[in-house]
Structure 1
Amino acid sequence: MMRKASWQRWLYQNVGFATAVLLLTVLYLTYNMLHPRGFSSAVAIQNSNEAAAIAFVAMAQTLPVLLGGLDLSVGAVMTLTNCVASELLNGPAWQILLGMFLTLLTGTAFGFMNGCIVVYGRIQPIIATLATGAIAIGLALLIRPKPGGNVDDDLSWALTNSVYDFADTYGLAEGGDAWWLRPFADIPVPVILIVFVAVAVWVPFRRSVTGRTVYAIGSAEGAAYMSGLPIDRAKIAAFTLGGFFAACGGLYLAIQTSSGNADIQQAGAYTLNSIAAVVLGGTSLLGGVGSAIGSLVGAMILRVISFYFRILDIDPLLQPLIEGVVLLVAVSFGAFRTLRVKNQLDLFR
Structure 2
Amino acid sequence: MRGDWRYHFAEHRGTLLAALVFVLMFAVYTGNHPAGFSANVVQTAANKGVLLALLAMAQSFVVLTSGIDLSIGAVFILSNCLASWIVDGSPAMTALGVLGVLAAGIACGAVNGALVIFGRLQPIVATIASGAIYFGVALALRPDPGGDVNGDLADTLTGQLAGGIPASLVVLLGVVLLIWLPFRRSALGRAVYAVGSSEAAAYMSGVATERAKFAAYTLAGLFAAMGGLMLTFFTYSGEASSSNAATYTLNSIAAVVLGGVSLFGGTGSAVGAIFGALIFRTINDLLFVFDLDPLWQPLFLGLVLLVSVCIGSLRLLHLRNRLDLFG
TM-score range, shorter chain: over 0.9
Gaps of 5+ in 2: none
Q: CA RMSD in A?
A: 1.6
Question: After TM superposition, what 4+ stretches of structure 1 lie above 6 angstroms from structure 2?
Answer: none
2:222 pairs with 1:222: no
Q: Which residue of 2 aligns with 1:10?
A: 8
Provide the C-alpha distance between the structure 2 equivalents of 1:73 and 1:235, rounded to a whole number of angstroms: 16
Partner of 2:99: 101
- Return the offset for 1:73: 0.5
Shift of 1:344: 8.8
Q: Which amino acid aligns with 1:62?
A: S
Q: Give the secondary structure class of the aligned counterpart of 1:341.
A: helix
Distance (Å, rounded) in 2 between the aligned partners of 1:87 and 1:220: 43
User: Which amino acid is the alignment partner of residue 99 of structure 1?
Assistant: G
Q: Partner residue of 1:256? A: 234
Aligned length: 323
The CA deviation at 1:34 is 1.0
Deviations 1:179-230 (A, max 9, x none): xxxxxx3110010001111121111111111111111111111111111111
Instruction: Give the match for residue 117 of structure 1.
Output: 115
SS at match of 2:148: coil
Pick from 36, 49, 52: which aligns with 1:51? Answer: 49
Deviations 1:25-50 (A, max 9, x none): 11111111111222211111000111
The residue that corresponds to 2:164 in the other structure is: 186
Aligned to 1:28: 26
The residue aligned with 2:124 is: 126
Distance 1:79 1:39 in 2: 32
Matches within 5 A, 1:68-217: 68-164=66-162, 185-217=163-195
TM-superposed CA distance for 1:327, in Å, is 3.0
Please list the CA deviations of residues 139-181 of structure 1 after superposition, one character each: whole Å capped at 9, or x if unmatched: 00110000001112222222111014xxxxxxxxxxxxxxxxx
Judge conservation of contact 1:65–1:286 (CA < 8 Å) in 2: yes
* Contact 2:154-2:233 within 8 A present in 1 as well: yes
- Asked if 1 retains the 8 angstrom alpha-carbon contact of 2:74 and 2:132, the reply is yes
Q: In the alignment, is the contact (CA less than 8 A) between 2:105 and 2:225 conserved in 1?
A: yes
**Match of 2:302?**
324
Aligned 8 A contact 1:16 1:335 in 2: no
CA drift of 1:64 comes to 1.2
Task: Give 3-state SS (helix, strand or coil) of 2:206's partner.
Answer: coil
CA deviation digits over 1:97-145, x for unaligned, max 9? Answer: 1111101110011101111111111111111111100010010011000
| Structure 1 position 304 matched with structure 2 position 282 | yes
Letter of the 1:243 partner, please give it.
G
> For 2:80 and 2:278, how far apart are their aligned partners in 1?
21
Q: Structure 1, residues 319-339: CA drift from partner, whole Å, max 9, x if none?
A: 112222333334434443333
3-state SS, counterpart of residue 32 of structure 1: helix
For the residues of structure 1 that align with 2:188 and 2:308, how far apart are their CA atoms?
31
Counterpart-to-counterpart distance in 2, 1:25 and 1:326: 18
Give the AA of the match of 2:258: L
What is the CA–CA distance in structure 2 between the aligned matches of 1:344 and 1:76, rounded to whole Å? 40
Residue pair 1:106, 1:247 contacting (<8 A) in 2 also: yes
Partner of 1:314: 292
User: Residues 11 and 268 of structure 2 are in contact (CA less than 8 Å); yes or no, is this contact kept in structure 1?
Assistant: no
Q: Please state how far the C-alpha of 1:275 moved relative to its aligned partner.
A: 0.7
> How far does the alpha carbon of each residue in 1:283-336 deviate from its partner, in whole angstroms, 9 at most, with x for none?
111111111111111111110001112221111011112222333334434443
2:64–2:193 contact (8 Å) kept in structure 1: yes
Q: Superposition pairs for residues 264-275 of structure 1, below 5 Å?
A: 264-275=242-253
Counterpart amino acid of residue 329 in structure 1: V
Q: Give the equivalent residue in structure 2 for 1:177.
A: none
